[in-house]
Structures are given as structure tokens and as C-alpha cells.
Structure 1
């Protein structure tokens, strides 16, 4: 149904067999409530390493795909359970965009990776600011030009994100589930474009379904960049409850109603994903043959900064925002487990 390039999403660590023993790691912060646990890896991009239920399960039931030993050793966020997306979500075409008359040139790779991906906050460590047994606050500070590209010797070393900002994640584990509150503030002396979200991976046993109400889907080109916003069979299938194995997707959906239901009928489990504005967009990544899929709450469509400059935003809502100096942005998402 779509043509896409997937190497950037499928590192070796992410393809490895799930290894729950890997989670016995002293660098992980454990949140606990009753029989539920959430493990967080501040040093791996402020990622969530696992979210699971130990009640009546040996091994535990994992609501998100748990991190592998290889991913933890490599500090690879793509092998985590979920990681934060800032200051934009998904790809920026050729790692470049124009903002207020200035061409911003982002560090990026080559070939299929020449499109800057998921911002930079997921590639850097976050600082533990506060914690209790069931809550954790992480802090991130971006200083322009303080970091170089992490894509390797063949990378295009752009000047990077020129706007100074800070961000926080506040995670709470309670009887309802795991909530993540995202917060960011523009510390620059000029306006800053900004987008945010989270990138969760879910286990995908046979029969896994996902349901969500969306309005339309962005068709993509061979490099997973948006071409046009249209009706699509996946839109109707999502409303009815899409069988994940029936669709090969890496697409952004607009008009998301801020809720999705993921169901594992053979396990008798269901997980509600709920979010608040401006997480008005939804990405579904369901490549065939892999033991996981992604359903991502995000505040902007792929390449929104270039679509905005091209005037697409005048006709179609592509999301994202512009923060004035000192202005803040806050949102939250939650994973709420249920038994069928």
C-alpha cells in the first residue's frame, strides 16, 4: 500500500529477540505501583525502557516492547520501549528548512538517512531532576552548536538546531497506568519552531489490533516523506479496529481524536493510549515480519517545517507551533492498561 525506506527504523538492537533479563540494569530508574513497573533510561535519550505488569505473569506481561541488552549497551533509543521526540517529530526533508528567512541546516546522514529524523533530544542524556517511588522528572537543556552529528563519518555536519531551549518529562505510575507530561520552554531571544511527541513500540503477537479515529492519511514517497493528504482504507480500518498484520504502513494521520485502543485478544489485554492537544497527529508504523509496531502521538506531521514554508499549512493543518521567547508548551500522554 505504501513504498517506503525502513533502515533508519530497524537497527540490529531493535530486531533482537526480546530479553527481559536485560532490564536488571543499575542505570535504569524503576517506578513501581502495586504489581506494575516502569523502567526509565535517562542516559539513553530519556527513554522508557519497559512498562510491564507482574501480576499473575511469569515472565511479566509487557505493555510496551522491552529494551534489549544490546540496545542498552549501545545506548540505542531505537531499541527502547519509547523515547521522546523534540524539537520535531519524524523527518525533515534533506535535513534543511527555512524559518523567518534563515536556512536551518541540521546534522543528518546519507542515503535514506539524509533526512533529519526525530529531532535530537532522543540522542542525548537527560538529567534526573526529582524522583519518588512512583514518579520521575527528567530535564534536558539544548545549547546551540554544543553537539555534533552522531550519525558517523559519512554524515552531513549541519550547523544544528540554532534555538536554545529546555524540556522536561514528568512520569507518573499509578493505578490507572503510566502518564508522561511533556514540557518545553524557548530560551532563545527569538521565536522558535517546535514540535514534540513520544515514539512507543508495542509487542505484536498474532491478532494484535489497534483502533483510533482519524480524518485522513498522508500518502508518502519512497523516502517516507509526505506527498498528499487523502482518504485511505487504513482510515476506515482504524475506526473499526485495524488488524496490524493486514497493513504495511509508515504514515502520519491527521485529525486524530487523541485516543487509540491497542488490543491483544489472545492475551486478554487491552491498552488505551490517550493524549492531549497539541498531540493532534498520529503515526502508525507496521512493517511486515517484525514482532513490534509503533503508534505514535505527535504534534506535527512529517516535514511540517518545509510544508509550512511551501504554503501547505495555509491549506492543510500540518501541526507544530512557534514559541515566542520565554513561551512554554505542555502536553501529556498516558498508557492505561485494561483486561478484556
Structure 2
């Protein structure tokens, strides 16, 4: 199938996907109201095969050290798949399946599959990384840009993390955990019982971001949008908390956004 844009619909909810632009969800409209920041770099993009920054763009796998291109100052950020064209494996009225084959500069071969499923009051994103050859460390996550204001109402962010990863001057976790601090944030938090963050636009909409994963980055330092990013590990996790993809065990993650009108 081609990688032209896809529109899913369910009830009065509509999601637009751009396989050719990093496999991202470019729009999510509820009752005609757009929830995601618009623009080629925004919407909601998959972070794979790593999330956030890799320190100096380098990660170690056993004795081997691999260098990724530096695209965030001295670091490498958000994986390679968001800059690639994905393939449409299947598309229906309310669900689509996209795939992306890992390639250079990533040093290992593997396939990423992302399933996007829409109902009248939820959007569920599921992603997996499989390998048929050598095992390798990887991370999965999503980076949505939610509009800060809806219908004139500014967003309120509600969540109760167990800890906050202390952030160094280089924007990477230092390895220390602290009690959660008030925002503004560009920070990673631990939620051992699963990610659960609520965005409320008073008088407009309440949206809940959940995931069985235990890590979330919250970013609200920008005027136009806020980000709630469930992921399988912290920034620089390829070095500090690697998850292994093996021929017998893919790496899988899912997140669900559910909304209620106010």
C-alpha cells in the first residue's frame, strides 16, 4: 500500500496519520476540535529505537560502542524512525497498521510495527520492535504535542509520580531520584504502577494518557503545546536501563488516550 495520509474515524472522533512523515499521528479531532499541535514536526511521533537523548550520541552494547548522529546539541534525540517513511501494512475505517524497517545509522536490523486504533472516546497506540537476527538494546515511546489551549481554556496537568529523575545541566538524568518538583518541566518521572497523566482544559475536555510502562517525560516549557511522553525507559536508557530485543522476545509498548467532554 502507498504511504499517503490516512484518516481514521469513529463517532465524532477523527485521527489523521502520516506514514510518509515518521509514522506520526498528525491530527486528532474530537467534535471538530483539534487536540494536537499542527506542523510537520509536531502531532504525535513514535520514538524508536530510543527515547529522549543519548548522551554524546553513543551507546554501548557489550563490547561494542555505537555512535548515532548528533541532532540535539552534543546528543542524539528521539530515535531514527520519526525521520523516515513508514509503510502501510493495513488500513481500515478505525484502525491502521504501519511498519518501519530499522536501517542505518541504527546498527541492527529489525522491524517496528505500530498499530493505531480509534474509538469514539479513545485512541490506542501500540508499538513493537522485532528482530530475526542478533539481539540489541532498544526503547519505545511516543511524543505527542497537545495544544496548550482548547476553546480559550489553558491546560492543567495532573499526575502523581513516585519520583522525578534529577536532570543535569545537559538535560540528561544524573542517576539520582528526587521527590517530584513543581513545573515547568522537561523532566522524566517514574510511575511504577503505570503511566497515568490527566490533561484538563476547563470547560472543554479532559484527556487521560495511560500506559503500562513506568516512565513518562512531561514537557511544558513551550507556549503552544505540552507533551506527555510514555516510554519504556528514561532518557539515555540505552546506556542506563537497556531493554533487550531478542529473536524470541520483541519489545512491546502501548498507550491509550481517553477523553471526556466537560
TM-score, normalising length from structure 1?
0.71
**Match for residue 53 of structure 2 among 85, 91, 99:** 91
**Match for residue 286 of structure 1 among 220, 225, 228:** 220
- Call closer, same or farther: CA 1:266–1:176 in 2, change over 3 Å: closer
CA root-mean-square deviation = 1.8
Contact 2:199 2:206 in 1 (8 A): yes
1:48 matched residue in structure 2: 25
Task: Please state how far the C-alpha of 1:84 moved relative to its aligned partner.
Answer: 0.3
What is the rounded CA distance, in whole Å, between the counterparts of 1:140 and 1:207 in structure 2?
A: 36
Contact 2:232 2:253 in 1 (8 A): no
Contact 1:50 1:80 in 2 (8 A): no
The runs of at least 4 consecutive aligned structure 1 residues that moved more than 6 Å come to none
What is the rounded CA distance, in whole Å, between the counterparts of 1:84 and 1:207 in structure 2?
A: 26
Higher-Rg structure is 1
* Number of residue-to-residue matches in the alignment: 255
Q: Which runs of 5+ in 1 are unaligned?
A: 1-25, 55-59, 72-78, 146-159, 235-246, 308-317
What is the rounded CA distance, in whole Å, between the counterparts of 2:6 and 2:65 in structure 1?
A: 40
1:80 aligns with 2:16: no
What is the rounded CA distance, in whole Å, between the counterparts of 2:8 and 2:120 in structure 1?
A: 12
1:203 aligns with 2:160: no
2:199 matched residue in structure 1: 262
What is the rounded CA distance, in whole Å, between the counterparts of 1:325 and 1:263 in structure 2?
A: 41
What is the rounded CA distance, in whole Å, between the counterparts of 1:170 and 1:255 in structure 2?
A: 24
Higher strand share: 2
1:274 aligns with 2:210: yes
1:305 matched residue in structure 2: 238
Show the 5 A alignment for 1:26-45. Answer: 27-45=4-22
1:64 matched residue in structure 2: 36
Contact 1:63 1:337 in 2 (8 A): no
2:261 matched residue in structure 1: 339
Contact 1:51 1:64 in 2 (8 A): yes
What is the rounded CA distance, in whole Å, between the counterparts of 1:201 and 1:253 in structure 2?
A: 18
Contact 2:47 2:141 in 1 (8 A): yes
What is the rounded CA distance, in whole Å, between the counterparts of 1:232 and 1:177 in structure 2?
A: 28
Contact 1:93 1:225 in 2 (8 A): yes
CA-to-aligned-CA distance 1:211-267 (integer Å, 9 cap, x gap) = 123111112122211112211323xxxxxxxxxxxx221100013532211100142
2:113 matched residue in structure 1: 168
Contact 1:82 1:201 in 2 (8 A): yes
TM-score, normalising length from structure 2?
0.91
Task: Please state how far the C-alpha of 1:123 moved relative to its aligned partner.
Answer: 0.9
What is the rounded CA distance, in whole Å, between the counterparts of 1:333 and 1:232 in structure 2?
A: 22
Higher helix share: 1
2:67 matched residue in structure 1: 105
1:119 aligns with 2:100: no
Task: Please state how far the C-alpha of 1:280 moved relative to its aligned partner.
Answer: 1.2
Contact 2:13 2:121 in 1 (8 A): no
SS at match of 1:233: coil
Task: Please state how far the C-alpha of 1:63 moved relative to its aligned partner.
Answer: 2.5
What is the rounded CA distance, in whole Å, between the counterparts of 1:232 and 1:84 in structure 2?
A: 26
